[in-house]
Amino acid sequence: MPKSPAEIKAEILKLTREFSAATHAANRPGNDAKHAVFVPGQSIVPYAGRVFTEDEVEAAISSTLDFWLTLGPEGDAFENELAAFLGVKKSLLVNSGSSANLLALSALTSDKLGERHLRQGDEVITVAAGFPTTVAPIIQNGCVPVFIDNDPVTLNGRVDQLEDAFVPRKTKAVMMAHTLGNPFDLAAVTEFCQRHNLWLIEDNCDALGCRYDGKITGTFGDLSTQSFYPPHHLTMGEGGAVSVVRDMKLKVLVESFRDWGRDCWCASGKDDTCHKRFGWKLGELPEGYDHKYIYSHLGYNLKPLDPQAAIGRQQLKKLPAFIQARIDNWNHLRSALQELEEFIQFQLPTHATGWTPQGFTWDNSGHRSECSWFGFMMLVKKNAPFTRREFAQHLDAAKIGNRMLFGGNLVRQPAFVSLKKQQPNAFRVVGDLAGADRIMNEAVFIGTYPGLTPAMLDYMVATIRHFVRSR
């Protein structure tokens, strides 16, 4: 008797789990007894990477066998589960964190927002040192980024420069990232935005699970963004999300720009959600033109696939454990490298004034940050008997993954240098950006991701100690 489709699928998924367990041991959580054995000096210690088990592989294959493919039931479920985790009104899946930033900024250009919509030439305050796709959407939408400096210890924007960056009737929004899993000063930034009636976009791509005064980041602004690229806190392979924090009017706009710019809000495969599909009169189209083909914005097609969302749902279940592993790994490195403070400056959470083996010391503001660390940042001090470049090269030679703080001071990047020559007013800078330059010249980070094993952490510590002592 031939097997039923359900029986065939069950057999495929059973074999899938067996294959994954036999093949992907190096991608298991670092505290998993089944993780691949680490060989110091031979095995690579990634700065970040995919952490998964057979659960994610099974979910991807199961969804693929169903062959819906385009964003559908798994996507709907993941959007709802992510929004519930964050505590926001709605999360919308996209194909990358960079696309999420593009859509969040683009949504604010819609004339459906009335007088508050961003126009060509309006200014958006952002931060000089970071990842370029936090800033690129501002320029791509015809607005002007205004760069404030970074504090080289927290890596976040210097909020004391916000007022210097502000120009009445020209400044319309603030868009900045919680850098390397460290929340920026949300008390100061949200107060500033509220006082001047500015939009706030939180780039939360490196910071999923961070908290500020006990409240999770990505829930303070009007919109926030996530990335699900493999190095991030959870992964769909490629992928990201835009979260609508409070005002569901923004949900319709983000969806429109994500889905070709269409005016219709029907999900794929569904018709007439508004019950007046042929009852609209918009633009100069004839009355009754099919609403599914009316376009109110110049949009994109930036959706991910449903099998990716199936992977993300499994990852989301593990997110609390992933976040705790990042915290534990950062604390392990900080404690073990304490003796190197003469030559290396270590990152601090926003509002922290120092670190002791018992924990952080804090300023008098009353505010507290809880970091879901994306990496372990080190700044090579000027008095060190080695350079950042030499340090990074030594880590490379020891097969320890490391990175700069992404693009460093972005205004020094070729794209921005060229842009300034072609369009002198394309962006504006507040102050001398000395902090961003210091980060560009001195900063390097290693991993804290949940795939690090105790042996990897010990090897990283021993390698760094040996390098510094040998100098």
Q: Is 466 a catalytic residue?
A: no
- C-alpha distances out from residue 319 to 207, 400, 447, Å: 12, 25, 17
Q: Which residue out of 35, 178, 232, 332 is catalytically annotated?
A: 232
Q: Annotated active-site positions, please?
A: 232
